[in-house]
Amino acid sequence: MHELPPDLIKTIVSQALAEDIGTGDLTTLNAIPSTAQAEAQFVFREPGVVCGLPLVEAVFAALAANLVVTRTIAEGSKATAGQTVATVAGPARGILTGERVALNLFQRLSGIATLAANYVAAVAATPARILDTRKTTPGLRVLEKYAVRMGGATNHRFGLYDGVMLKDNHLAILSQQGIDLTSAIQDLRTRVGPMVCIEVEVESAAAAAQAAAAGADMILLDNMHPAQLREAVVAIAGRARCEASGGITLDNIHAIATSGVDYISIGALTHSARALDIGLDAIADCRL
């Protein structure tokens, strides 16, 4: 599902506006006449994927009912440098007060979507699919995972509640309790049932083969170079899906994608995406 729930948008925008405005926009309220009208354009200063227009619309709708946002490009489309992607028109005070919150959300989500699109393009000639992770900004995960989808990549599990993943620390603690990898996987299957995906993090081809034999649905191959990934894929022998993760960049992702893995997860999609350069430019001498 690509759409963001309206009630969720309203909640996030309300919190963001309250954080920024507080008891009132001192500059705008004291410098700009209440009768002033204006129009402004959202302009991409660099190429990128447009993501966050529903948030932009919600920001201005929350500030004034007669603030009108008009899209000039579809959400998820690619914009060129210098392209106007939307306009906002109406009370000048509302435009000025909402400008920063709207841009913060728009720039952040467009940056994530653009980075995701770059990774998707880098593996386009391979069967591998790009996944995100849970390395997201607290409170904004739903927006950031939405942006990943707008960039053409795929969401991994949303939270701890919608999938099982035995990671290195889980396995270390289980080992301290005398529970080996095979027993841990088989016990989990009994507990969660056949419909829940069980994923296991491993660091060697031998551990990958053991996890596959024990019934893991997906195996995370952590911090392996392409030759090691190929060895692990062979060891798994189609018994589970394979996910490469760790140390992945645009420079090395094609080699990783050709190793035979099904998925490549990249935390940088959300934790290191650069905000896209987008401006809100007021149109001089506007008469509405």
Q: Quote the crossing angle between the two packed helices 53-63 and 92-122, to the nearest 10°.
A: 170
Q: Mean pLDDT, to the nearest integer, of 32-46?
A: 97
Based on the residue annotation, tell me whether 135 is a catalytic residue of this protein: yes
Asked if residue 244 belongs to a known ligand binding site, the reply is no
Based on the residue annotation, tell me whether 222 is a catalytic residue of this protein: yes
Asked if residue 95 belongs to a known ligand binding site, the reply is no
- pLDDT reported for residue 1: 43
- pLDDT reported for residue 284: 60
pLDDT tens for each residue of 105-115: 999 999 999 99
Asked if residue 157 belongs to a known ligand binding site, the reply is yes
Give the other-Cβ count within 10 Å of 162's Cβ. Answer: 10
Q: Mean pLDDT, to the nearest integer, of 66-78?
A: 97
Asked if residue 251 belongs to a known ligand binding site, the reply is no
- pLDDT reported for residue 212: 98
Q: Which of 198, 195, 189, 248 is nearest to 218 (CA)?
A: 198
Whether the Cβ atoms of residue 261 and residue 221 lie closer than 8 Å to each other: yes
- pLDDT reported for residue 285: 52
pLDDT tens for each residue of 195-224: 999 999 999 999 999 999 999 999 999 999
pLDDT band, very low/low/confident/very high, at 3 (cuts 50, 70, 90): confident
Q: Which of 167, 168, 180, 274 is catalytic?
A: 167
Whether the Cβ atoms of residue 222 and residue 169 lie closer than 8 Å to each other: no
Q: Structure pTM?
A: 0.94
- pLDDT reported for residue 2: 67
Residue type present at position 126: T
pLDDT tens for each residue of 216-274: 999 999 999 999 999 999 999 999 999 999 999 999 999 999 999 999 999 999 999 99
Element (H or E) spanning 8, and its range? helix 6-21
pLDDT score of 288 more than 70:
no
Asked if residue 245 belongs to a known ligand binding site, the reply is yes
Q: Which of 25, 75, 144, 201 is catalytic?
A: 201
Q: Which of 135, 141, 189, 241 is catalytic?
A: 135
Q: Which of 75, 199, 217, 222 is catalytic?
A: 222
List of domains in the chain: 6-120+274-282 (3.90.1170.20), 122-271 (3.20.20.70)
